[in-house]
Amino acid sequence: MKILDRYIIRNLLITFIFITVSLQLLSVVIDISQRMHRLENNQGSIKKALIFYYPYWSIWLANTFSPISVFLSVIFFTSKLENNSEITAILSSGISLNRLIVPYLISAIMIGTVSLLINYYFLPMANKKKNQFHYQYLLSSRYKNKYEKNQTISTQISKNEYIFIRNFSRKKNIGKEFVYQKFNGKKLIYILKSKNIFGYKKKKIYVLSDYRETTIKKNYDFFIKGDYKIKKFSFTPEELLPEEYIAETMNIYELKKFIDIEKKNRNVNIHLNEYYQRTSLPFSTFIFTILGFSLSSKKSETGYNIILGIVLAVFYIFFMEITKIYSTKDTIPSYLSVWLPNVLLGIIALFFYWKNINN
């Protein structure tokens, strides 16, 4: 690696870290000012939020907007080189734009790889902490009532197993009129009913009260009744009634397993969006790097190009949110909803790069 490559990579990464940290600090200040009233209403405090919420929230925010931070870093650093006539001197020495962009792409690989690992493994852990605080202190009264409202559950938990529960409380993990059915093909072979059911949080063990078991044989049925029964199932209370954003708290392998189970019972496109975006978002780092380099490496019309680039970045975010909405309504496939913005922006970035090297 040449001295020039190391110089560009080092300064580009420093610029990226500076912009990312600056945006985080600004975002935290703005967010605190907006949430202060809700924190106080829910017996929270700014001190608690700064310790138990914003460190994890900042990880989520930094990773989500890392492609935009890369884009701004590339524009800022490259524009500085161009204004100091350093790019002109580099090109005059015989180095082409195709060679000059190499250290930029190496930087993108480094940032994209870190972002990918965070998305796959570390961000879900941060999201768990973030969401715990959010549900306790930052939910509006309206959403809190909806979140804690008792619900009826009717779901298939495996190929041959079904459960039904009335008035299940997400907060207390308690339900009424529980029914568990097991089939052998199309034939019902086992039924377990109870007046009440209680589940231990994060465990797959349940306590049934006033229960009745029915084992259906070929020529007779076998019954057992009792006051209490401890039963182990293949699901936790959280999996029984998953939260809307449960997918973001799972690592990539847990998420894939969760989707495979849930798709038997309901539309899982919102979870598939999360699954595919964990790869598509880090990949967009390369696209924004090429776009930022193409728009800022020529001194002519640099100001106009930077404004154009920012508009394209905003459009990218807006377009991705729109496609994800259509995906949750099952209008377009989930993989297309998160990759289509990358494809379109990639074509635009390559066009500007091609235009740049041919001028």
Please give the Cα distance from 41 to 140 (Å, whole number): 10
Residue 157 lies in a domain: no
- Listing DSSP states for 38-99 in one string gives HHHHTT--HHHHHHHTHHHHHHHHHHHTHHHHHHHHHHHHHHHHHHTTHHHHHHHTT--HHH
Q: Does 183 share its domain with 322?
A: no
Q: Does 87 share its domain with 126?
A: yes
Please give the Cα distance from 81 to 79 (Å, whole number): 5
Residue 246 lies in a domain: no
DSSP state of 235: -
Q: Does 128 share its domain with 271?
A: yes
Provide CB contacts within 8 A for 51, sequence distance 6+: none
Answer with the one of 204, 224, 240 that is the final residue of a domain: 240
Residue 39 lies in a domain: yes
Residue 245 lies in a domain: no
DSSP state of 330: T
- By C-alpha distance, which of 5, 114, 30, 134 is closest to 67? 114
Q: Does 236 share its domain with 274?
A: no
Residue 286 lies in a domain: yes
Q: Does 233 share its domain with 325?
A: no
Provide CB contacts within 8 A for 251, sequence distance 6+: 120, 121, 124
Q: Does 224 share its domain with 351?
A: no
**Beta strands per DSSP E along 172-303:** 174-184, 187-199, 205-216, 221-232
Residue 251 lies in a domain: no
Answer with the one of 191, 223, 240 that is the final residue of a domain: 240
Q: Does 10 share its domain with 102?
A: yes
Please give the Cα distance from 67 to 310 (Å, whole number): 12
Residue 146 lies in a domain: no
Residue 256 lies in a domain: no
Q: Does 113 share its domain with 56?
A: yes
**How crowded is residue 200: how many other Cβ atoms within 10 Å of its Cβ?**
12
Asked if 111 and 232 count as a contact pair (C-beta separation under 8 A), the reply is no
Q: Does 336 share its domain with 270?
A: yes
What is the domain range of residue 104? 3-141+265-357
Q: What domain count does the chain have?
A: 2
- Work out the burial of residue 253: count CB atoms within 10 Å of its CB; fewer than 13 is exposed, 13-18 middle, 19 or more buried: exposed
Please give the Cα distance from 50 to 133 (Å, whole number): 11
Q: Does 91 share its domain with 48?
A: yes
Q: Does 75 share its domain with 202?
A: no
Asked if 62 and 20 count as a contact pair (C-beta separation under 8 A), the reply is yes
* pLDDT tens series, the chain, 359 aa: 588 889 999 999 999 999 999 999 999 999 998 888 888 888 888 889 999 999 999 999 998 889 999 999 999 898 888 877 778 788 788 888 888 899 999 999 999 999 999 999 999 999 989 988 988 888 777 777 777 778 888 888 777 888 999 888 887 889 999 999 999 888 899 999 999 999 887 788 999 999 999 998 888 788 899 999 999 888 888 777 766 678 888 999 989 988 887 777 667 888 899 999 999 999 999 999 999 998 887 665 666 777 887 888 888 988 988 998 888 887 888 899 999 999 999 999 999 999 888 87
Q: Does 46 share its domain with 137?
A: yes
Task: Give the distance from CA 47 to its chain's centroid.
Answer: 26
| pLDDT value at residue 246 | 80
